[in-house]
Amino acid sequence: MILASISSFSSISTYPIPQQSKKPNPYQSHQKVFSKSNQVIDFTSSKTLEIRKTCECFDLYNELVPYDKAWSWQKNIVKEKKALIESNEECPDSLIILQHSPVYTMGTASSEEHLNFDIKDPPFQVFRTERGGEVTYHGPGQLVMYPIINLRNHKMDLHWYLRALEEVVIRVLSSTFSIKASRLEGLTGVWIGDQKLAAMGIRVSQWITYHGLALNVTTDLTPFRWIVPCGIQNRQVGSIKELLRQSRPSNGCRKSDLHHPDDFQLIDITHNSLIKEFSEVFQLEVQRKTNLLFEPSEKNSFATELFS
């Protein structure tokens, strides 16, 4: 199942990681674990001596950004990139990373049958979007990455792109938390057993990507009960926090708590690792932007709020 939506086809230097928390990361590991893929894709064969292209990163990972605002940012950035391409100018890649205020989003073909609440009286705002995929939930404790990249500079293949996004998360879980994640045949996302930790839904217009992936780190998973996440029955949603909690010794020894970060540290650690692995998988030099994203100059015509 390809969680992608396509329109108008005319047709990683290491990220400078922000200072870590004072407590050392007890999960750091140099071992890489690669899961079986829907198709064989080698993400380790890139030319390490080649000069990497830059990727501007709007790093708002500690911010709760309303969904419609982040959506407008993406649309405006895509519009700018199309203009650069049309004028034969350099079109650098971009990345937005943030958290959202609680919200449900639906894809182009999402069914309201996957909502376990009255659409006229939802627990949170509901937006129908132009991305691929079914309904999902975004909220605090979930890190969302919106890569807005020109696939002409990478590989003009949506299967490859989705597998690359999955690879970023799989590497984060393995190298940072020693968690062995995998893909499931026929499904998009990153899984631990029957628990989905990362969901993906994208849109591609003239080979420029937007929307992206959402990784549950310390997320309250309760709002997922009010939907059928990604339209997949009989599967669960998990988080890094819950997996680490389940791995704790059950001997009642409080000393073990010293080896587990609190929620803020866990977000910091995961954020740093996501940026690092993104830069490696896509062979980009990620450069953080200190200035705030621009405010949209006009209403985002693609964003349709159903009810609030």
Other Cβ atoms closer than 10 A to 238 = 21
Q: Which residues of the chain fall short of a pLDDT of 70? A: 1-50, 248-259, 290-308
- The pTM assigned to this predicted structure is 0.81
CA distance 196 to 182: 10
Write down the pLDDT at residue 111: 86
Look up 230 and say whether it is catalytic.
yes
CA distance 204 to 28: 34
| Among 57, 91, 230, 253, the one annotated catalytic | 230
Write down the pLDDT at residue 78: 97
Residue 259 to residues 25, 177, 181, 265, 267, Cα–Cα distance (Å): 8, 12, 21, 12, 15
b/e code 24-42 from CB counts within 10 Å (16+ = b): ebebeeeeeebbebbeebe
Write down the pLDDT at residue 234: 80
Half-sphere exposure of 41 (CA within 13 A, CB side): 19
Ramachandran region of residue 33, left (φ > 0), alpha (ψ -120 to 50) or beta? beta
CA distance 152 to 241: 37
Write down the pLDDT at residue 6: 52
208-253 residue pLDDT tens: 999 999 999 999 999 999 998 888 788 899 999 999 998 765 555 4
The answer to whether residues 196 and 190 touch, using CB atoms and an 8 Å cutoff, is: yes
257-293 residue pLDDT tens: 445 789 999 999 999 999 999 999 999 999 998 666 6
